[in-house]
A and B are shown apart, each in its own frame.
Chain A
Amino acid sequence: MIDEQKIIGMLQAKALGCLDPIEETDLQNYINEGHIFSWEELGQFQHAASLLPMALELEIPNAELKDRVALRLIKLSDELRSKKVLEEEKLEVEEDVEEFEKIETPYFEPLIEIESDVVEVQEDLVTDINQDEISFNLDEISLQEFEAVEVPYPQTSVFSEIEVPVENIVEQAAIEIPQVEEIKVEEAFADAESFTPPTENENIPDTTVESKQVAEQEDPNKQMDLTKKSVAEKMFKAIEQDFDSLKYQFDESEKKLTRGLLISYVIIAVLLALLIFSFFKFSSDIKSLENEVKSLEKNLSSQLFNKDRTNRDPYFFS
């Protein structure tokens, strides 16, 4: 337990910031323990201590110092800005990666096996056929008549969202081709010749009005057609998208394959070149070595020959 008087005696040193570390911790503990502390007196001493620099002879800093401070601040703000930009870019990249990872694999419709009434040819039947009766009369063959087969409409995730009765779709599938009336060329020319341009007084029949009226009469049926068409269009679009995704995947795998092939071709070509080079080099080396051996042999024999001669006839020129 620290004496209160001792604490009061510390206030001046505390205000000047020259308390010993042990006393500093003692004072801090005293305050933290919740004892009555003379904050007001400490404040007075802190105020008095802060006035001490005013007793010094004032010096004005160099004018360049202000510019230096400003420059440092500008640099700092630039650094902060660039850091922020970098962080933002990083975040964007991370977000992109996350989004990319979130992309689910494209949905492919399961292949629907259409059951048909076509009789499968059994392999056993082929063996049963007599080899002599292989030649057959085409007239005797009668093809089995196919019955109309109703293909079940697939309930997939893409199409389940569109609630359209199957009948409408089937009706839609039957595209009506407009019947074009055949017009003979001669009649057409005759019509053209008999055509006289209307005079100014004559009222030109307003065909646009007529067509409008006709359109109005035909409206209800056309609206029905339009809804059917829109559903069909959506279907076709969805199928097209699936085809596109399949096509994209196929293209990708094809690209990879071609790349791999190219790389392997290059490697093989390099290896071949190396082989050819080493073959020629070795063969030339062998040839040169052979030549060297031959020349050495020649030299050796000539030397021996000379030696023999000198040894045999020591007194030839004497």
Chain B
Amino acid sequence: MDTKLTDIELIQRISNRDSKALEALYDRYSPVLYTLVKKIVNDKSKAEEVIAEIFVILWQKSSKIVVNSDNLYSWLINFTRNKALDFIRRESALIVDEYNDEYQDKFIFPNLSAFVPPNDLEQTFNRRDKIYSAFHNLTEAQQYVLSLAYYEGLSESDIASKLNIPLLTVKSKIRVALNSVKENLEKEENQ
């Protein structure tokens, strides 16, 4: 398989039932997706199970994948996060709805804005240090709130009740934190 193929080209080939393309996508994305899933589920074997399910879904439903912008990376990251969060919520019986195609389309497949800037894994890897510093430049409180929201899948009110702080404080912290990440990234790129 040609390793120079873009993410979008790979997913197009997968939708044409090219198993080699799926293998290439696995080789390319499995480390980052596995890291994300393991962070969410906090267990190696469960993380592996979720990763396997993700690639099976990618193979089966590749024709359903709608990437509005030229950014498969964001789509895959959001899809993986949704799937991993759904996995742990089902394990703790927080979700009892039947997992079917309709549910998957509504809650697991991400509905991203068409204005998400184009991006792929290679670009993101090249900017990895900048991303790292952009996140670690945040205050500890901001980092923690972002972690609770993104990796634990807690809603703003859940975070407020967990940290025993007012909801408005949580809202402002989340707003400021993500704005800061975005601004830090822009700054890093301009340097």
Point out the residues of chain A lying under 8 angstroms from B60, CB to CB.
76
A18 lies within 8 A of chain B by Cβ? yes
Interface residues of B in 34-75 (CB under 8 A from A): 34-36, 38-39, 47-48, 51-52, 55-56, 59-60, 69, 71, 73-74
The CA of A60 and the CA of B47, in the complex, are separated in Å by 12
Known: A60-B34, A65-B51. A18 touches B174 (CB 8 A): yes
Q: Encode contact with A along B14-45: 1 for CB under 8 Å, 0 otherwise.
A: 00000100110010001110111011000000
The stretch of A38-46, A112-120, A182-190, A241-249 that contacts the partner chain:
A38-46
Q: Evaluate contact between A59 and B156: CB separation under 8 angstroms.
A: no
Q: Evaluate contact between A43 and B52: CB separation under 8 angstroms.
A: no
Least CB distance from A290 to B in Å reads 77
Point out the residues of chain B lying under 8 angstroms from A60, CB to CB.
30-31, 34
Known: A54-B132, A61-B51. A16 touches B78 (CB 8 A): no
Q: Evaluate contact between B115 and A43: CB separation under 8 angstroms.
A: yes
Q: Evaluate contact between B48 and A20: CB separation under 8 angstroms.
A: no
Q: Encode contact with B along A175-205: 1 for CB under 8 Å, 0 otherwise.
A: 0000000000000000000000000000000
- Which residue of the partner chain B has the closest CB to A9? B175
Point out the residues of chain B lying under 8 angstroms from A50, CB to CB.
73-74, 77-78
Point out the residues of chain B lying under 8 angstroms from A19, CB to CB.
155-156
Indicate which residue in A44, A53, A72, A73 contacts B77 across the interface (CB closer than 8 Å). Answer: A53
Point out the residues of chain A lying under 8 angstroms from B114, CB to CB.
39, 43
Q: Evaluate contact between A16 and B59: CB separation under 8 angstroms.
A: no
Indicate which residue in B39, B56, B115, B153 contacts A53 across the interface (CB closer than 8 Å). Answer: B39
Q: Encode contact with B along A6-49: 1 for CB under 8 Å, 0 otherwise.
A: 00010011011111110100000000000000011011111111
The CA of A85 and the CA of B185, in the complex, are separated in Å by 54
Q: Evaluate contact between A17 and B132: CB separation under 8 angstroms.
A: no
A62 lies within 8 A of chain B by Cβ? yes
Q: Encode contact with B along A48-76: 1 for CB under 8 Å, 0 otherwise.
A: 11111111111111100110111011001
Least CB distance from B127 to A in Å reads 8
Least CB distance from B122 to A in Å reads 12
Known: A20-B157, A61-B30, A72-B52. A48 touches B181 (CB 8 A): yes
B8 lies within 8 A of chain A by Cβ? no
Q: Evaluate contact between B175 and A54: CB separation under 8 angstroms.
A: no
Q: Evaluate contact between B135 and A73: CB separation under 8 angstroms.
A: no
Taking chain A's interface residues, is the majority helix, strand, or loop, or is none over half, making it mixed? Answer: helix
Q: Evaluate contact between B71 and A69: CB separation under 8 angstroms.
A: no
Point out the residues of chain A lying under 8 angstroms from B77, CB to CB.
50, 53
Known: A52-B135, A69-B26. A18 touches B178 (CB 8 A): no
Known: A17-B153, A47-B74. A69 touches B178 (CB 8 A): no
Known: A13-B171, A20-B156, A48-B181. A39 touches B52 (CB 8 A): no
Q: Evaluate contact between A49 and B150: CB separation under 8 angstroms.
A: yes
- Which residue of the partner chain A has the closest CB to B160? A20
The CA of A105 and the CA of B163, in the complex, are separated in Å by 83
Q: Evaluate contact between B178 and A48: CB separation under 8 angstroms.
A: yes
Q: Evaluate contact between A46 and B113: CB separation under 8 angstroms.
A: yes
B10 lies within 8 A of chain A by Cβ? no
Q: Evaluate contact between A16 and B174: CB separation under 8 angstroms.
A: yes
Q: Encode contact with A along B153-191: 1 for CB under 8 Å, 0 otherwise.
A: 111110100000000000100110111011001000000
Point out the residues of chain A lying under 8 angstroms from B59, CB to CB.
73, 76
Q: Evaluate contact between A54 and B124: CB separation under 8 angstroms.
A: yes
Indicate which residue in A45, A54, A55, A65 contacts B178 across the interface (CB closer than 8 Å). Answer: A45
Q: Evaluate contact between A18 and B154: CB separation under 8 angstroms.
A: yes
Point out the residues of chain A lying under 8 angstroms from B149, CB to CB.
13, 16-18
User: Could you list 22 examples of A-B contacts with CB < 8 Å?
Assistant: A16-B146, A18-B150, A18-B153, A19-B155, A20-B156, A39-B114, A39-B115, A42-B113, A44-B115, A44-B116, A44-B117, A46-B112, A47-B117, A50-B73, A52-B135, A54-B127, A54-B132, A55-B134, A59-B35, A66-B30, A69-B51, A73-B22
Q: Which 6 A-B pairs have the closest CB atoms?
A: A43-B115, A43-B113, A18-B149, A55-B135, A50-B74, A61-B34
Known: A43-B69, A51-B127. 19 other contacts (CB 8 A): A18-B159, A18-B174, A19-B155, A20-B156, A43-B113, A46-B74, A49-B178, A50-B73, A51-B131, A53-B36, A53-B77, A55-B134, A58-B31, A60-B30, A61-B34, A62-B48, A65-B34, A66-B30, A73-B19
